[in-house]
């Protein structure tokens, strides 16, 4: 919506500027200052801008209708899409405005946020490894993979308990059930050095075993780790539907504003066992 409104406003401003230019030009032309060819060029340019302005307004109307349709169909499309599914959520950095949108998408699709972690970065690798009770963890990348395994598996989490002071900002809830999918949000700049190695291990451990979605906002496109479906802007109804579908299907790709595809393929939700029909 914003892109179209901005485009319309920009075209209108240029159109007005050209009109003013022509009016001034007509006044000057009486003195021979503005050539006839220049006036013709400006008139042609106005015609082009009028056509572009009409097209932009039409696209804006179409976009507005699409948003209204998505809002109206939202409940029907989301119902039972994640029924019985348990989703883990990881923020690299503090939680931000995407947290409520992600929670709403999972809840609206009848899923459950089974665990949430917000991670403190950058890390002190030496202190982090020193806090680990297990022997044989050679580096922070391996530690990251093991933390991912505990996060997905549920149940006892001795590693997370051990590194909580060093690594964890927020940790809720802490249910025992395994996770059926994971959403990752990076609310800080990409990390370097030992912190990057820890996160690479974590990301690698989170992908492959269950649907994994990398959720982000609409700012400049940052670097992303491999193995995740990428979703830009989960704040809209269409974005929340896309998140639920990606967690349901495990589809790969990049979706949302500015991405190659606006939404993933949305299939009907099969009736739950024991329901009519």
Tens digit of each residue's pLDDT (9 = 90 or more) over 113-142: 999 999 999 999 999 999 997 767 879 999
- The average pLDDT across 190-206 equals 96
Residue 274 lies in a domain: no
Question: How far is it, in rounded angstroms, from Cα 87 to Cα 115?
Answer: 7
Cis preceding linkage at 262, omega within 30 = no
205 and 122 both lie in a single domain: yes
Rounded to 5 degrees, what are φ and ψ at 136?
Answer: 90, 0
Between CA 95 and CA 98, with CA 97 as vertex, the angle to 5 degrees is: 80
Which CATH number covers residue 174? Answer: 3.40.50
Residue 85 has pLDDT above 60, yes or no: yes
Domain boundary among 19, 45, 73: 73
**Statement to judge: residues 114 and 230 lie in one domain:** yes
Q: Is pLDDT at 102 greater than 60 in this prediction?
A: yes
SS3 content of the chain, % helix, strand, coil (to 5): 50, 15, 35
Same domain for 57 and 150, yes or no, is: no
Q: Each residue of 11-34: pLDDT tens digit?
A: 455 445 545 555 555 554 555 445
Instruction: Write the CB contacts of 271 (distance below 8 Å, at least 6 apart in sequence).
Output: 277
Instruction: Indicate whether 126 and 58 sit together in one domain.
Output: no
* Domain co-membership, 62 together with 123: no
Q: Is 136 left (phi over 0), alpha (psi -120 to 50) or beta?
A: left
Which domain, by its residues, includes 43?
2-73
Q: What pLDDT shows up at residue 244?
A: 97
The average pLDDT across 52-67 equals 68
For the chain, the domain total comes to 2
CA distances from 247 to 27, 84, 214 (A): 65, 12, 11
Q: Dihedral of CA 109/112/117/118: which sign?
A: positive
Last residue of a domain, which of 52, 73, 94?
73
Closest CA to 103 of 113, 95, 88: 113
Residue 268 maps to a domain: no
Query: Whole-angstrom Cα distance, residue 19 to residue 109?
Result: 52
Please enumerate, as own/partner, the contacts of 265-269 that have beta carbons within 8 Å and a separation of 24 or more.
Answer: 266/77, 266/241, 269/79, 269/80, 269/81
Least confident of 27-36, 97-106, 140-149, 239-248: 27-36
């Amino acid at each position: 919506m914003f892109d179209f409104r901005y485009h319309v406003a920009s075209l209108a401003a240029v159109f007005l500027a050209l009109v003013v230019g022509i009016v001034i030009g007509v006044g000057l032309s009486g003195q021979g200052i503005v050539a006839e060819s220049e006036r013709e060029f400006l008139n042609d340019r106005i015609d082009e801008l009028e056509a572009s302005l009409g097209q932009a307004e039409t696209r804006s109307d179409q976009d507005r209708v699409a948003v209204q349709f998505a809002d109206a169909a939202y409940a029907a499309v989301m119902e039972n899409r994640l029924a019985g599914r348990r989703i883990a959520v990881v923020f690299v950095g503090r939680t931000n405005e995407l947290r409520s949108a992600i929670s709403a998408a999972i809840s609206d699709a009848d899923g459950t946020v089974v665990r949430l972690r917000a991670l403190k970065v950058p890390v002190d690798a030496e202190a982090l490894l020193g806090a680990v009770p297990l022997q044989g963890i050679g580096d922070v990348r391996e530690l990251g993979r093991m933390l991912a395994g505990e996060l997905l598996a549920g149940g006892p989490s001795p590693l997370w308990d051990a590194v909580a002071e060093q690594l964890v900002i927020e940790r809720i809830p802490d249910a025992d059930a395994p996770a059926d999918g994971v959403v990752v949000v990076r609310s800080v700049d990409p990390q370097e050095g030992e912190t990057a190695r820890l996160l690479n291990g974590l990301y690698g451990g989170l992908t492959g075993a269950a649907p994994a979605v990398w959720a982000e906002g609409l700012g400049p496109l940052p670097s992303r780790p491999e193995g995740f479906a990428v979703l830009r802007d989960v704040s809209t109804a269409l974005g929340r539907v896309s998140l639920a579908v990606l967690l349901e299907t495990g589809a790969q790709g990049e979706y949302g504003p500015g991405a190659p595809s606006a939404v993933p393929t949305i299939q009907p939700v099969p009736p739950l066992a024991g329901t009519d029909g």
